[in-house]
Amino acid sequence: MTDAFPTPYLPDVAPLDPALEPALRARIDGKAKPPGSLGRIEDLAVQLGLIAYPAEPRVQDAALLVFAGDHGMTASGVSQYPSSVTAAMVATFLAGRASANAFAAATGARLRVIDAGVVADLPPHPGLIDAKVARGTADAAREPAMTPEQATTALTRGCAIARREIDAGADVVAIGEMGIGNTAAAALLAHRLAPAPLDDCIGPGAGQSDEGLKHKRAVLARAAARSDASAPLDVLAAFGGFEIAMMAGAVIGAAASRRPVVIDGFIAGAAALVAVRLTPAARDYCVFAHRSAERGHGRILAALGAAPLIDLGLRLGEGTGALLAVPLLRAAARLMTDVASLDDVLAGNLR
């Protein structure tokens, strides 16, 4: 049985106030260190300060939301793996044995798994949120992946899930995903919403061979030719996935609650692109964790004016890159709150 969610609705997001930035920057410059010596951590501290204002930034309780969904395009051969792997990986998350579980334990984050649209009927589990919109999307190479109503429902449910985590104490929300075929959907979203040439957005995903990648390109070219959608919600419905739509909603939900949201790699980046095209002010609240090795991610980052924090050649998904960035957010927040000012150091006022 699907958990209870509100009727389709997306909240307003208040943009951050740039007039506050000079004071925050001056405060950081006045810390007991040479100005600018902590590089982009200082920029991150300013962003966190703007989000938290007038309170102090705090990034202690971190929640990773892993959204899972299946894609009809898998039937057209865009992945070397069958859709059944999605459900198998959900079971692995719930057993605590996936890479994301290990990284969550290493970084002190809690992990929640969301059934956004897995083809299988998943048994109830304390760590699973049942938000299923449908049993996978339609094949976007042949027809719209979802109806506009389904897309709006998925956005709303993702938004509500993020806001519930924040109400439960989360200082920061990180988003990740699991869904066989979702690099194909993300490529189409990036192509249409960045916008960028389709070929520049397509990569090997979970490890396509040269022949498999050639076939994937052909399928995505057919999908792109099928629809001329350009408005964000239309593009999401034409090409997206339920897990991508829910991640986009989670971005908007976190931003509406004035919390930073950590964006993982290519798939989460495509979701952030959808969110920002729908609600431009949400961009202020996004922290881009890493630069994915998946080809299209650079196009998404460029479209959003984003500079990711780390570049480790990651392309797994699951929110693993987002989790690795969480300690950097914690350090940036503590730079603002815990480091003495140079004036206090010189005056000996260090109590």
**Displacement of CA 31 from its chain's centroid (Å):** 32
Angle at 161 between CA 155 and CA 166, to 5 degrees: 130
HSE of 177 in the Cβ direction (CA atoms, 13 Å)?
A: 34
> At how many degrees (to 10) do helices 242-256 and 148-167 cross?
50
Provide Rg for the chain, Cα atoms: 20
CB 259 within 8 A of CB 173: yes
CB 91 within 8 A of CB 70: no
Structure tokens at 92: 């692995």
- Distances from the Cα of 204 to the Cαs of 194, 199, 233, 287, 293, in angstroms? 20, 12, 26, 25, 10
Structure tokens at 61: 């309780």
Q: Which of 165, 243, 294, 318 is catalytic?
A: 318
HSE of 32 in the Cβ direction (CA atoms, 13 Å)?
A: 14
CB 307 within 8 A of CB 288: yes
DSSP H/E element including 116: strand 109-117
Closest CA to 8 of 104, 105, 147: 147
* Residue 243 known to be catalytic: no
Give dist(CA 221, CA 278) in Å, integer: 25
Catalytic residue positions, numbered: 318
